[in-house]
Amino acid sequence: MADLFALTEEALAGMDVELVDVERAALGLLRVTIDRVGGVRIEDCEQVSRQLSRVYEVENIDYKRLEVGSPGVDRPLRTEAEFRRFAGERIEIKLREALDGRKVFSGTLTVPEDEAAADAAAGMHKTVFGLEFEAKKNEVQVLNFTVEDIERAKLDPVLDFKGKKR
Number of structural domains found in the chain = 2
Containing domain of residue 123, as a range?
76-155
**Could you give the CA distance from residue 89 to residue 45 in angstroms, rounded to a whole number?**
25
Mean pLDDT split into 10-residue runs, the chain, 166 residues? 87 94 95 93 96 96 96 91 92 93 94 60 70 85 92 89 64
Residues 96 and 135 in one domain: yes
Q: Which H or E run contains 7? A: helix 2-11
- Cα atoms in the 13 Å half-sphere on the side-chain side of 14: 3
pTM for the model stands at 0.76
Q: Of 69, 104, 123, which marks where a domain is finished?
A: 69
Kind and range of the H or E run holding 106 = strand 102-110
Closest CA relative to residue 109, chosen from 145, 74, 71? 145
DSSP character for 159?
A: B
Residues composing the chain: 166
Same domain, 47 and 65: yes
pLDDT tens-digit series, residues 63-73 = 999 999 999 98
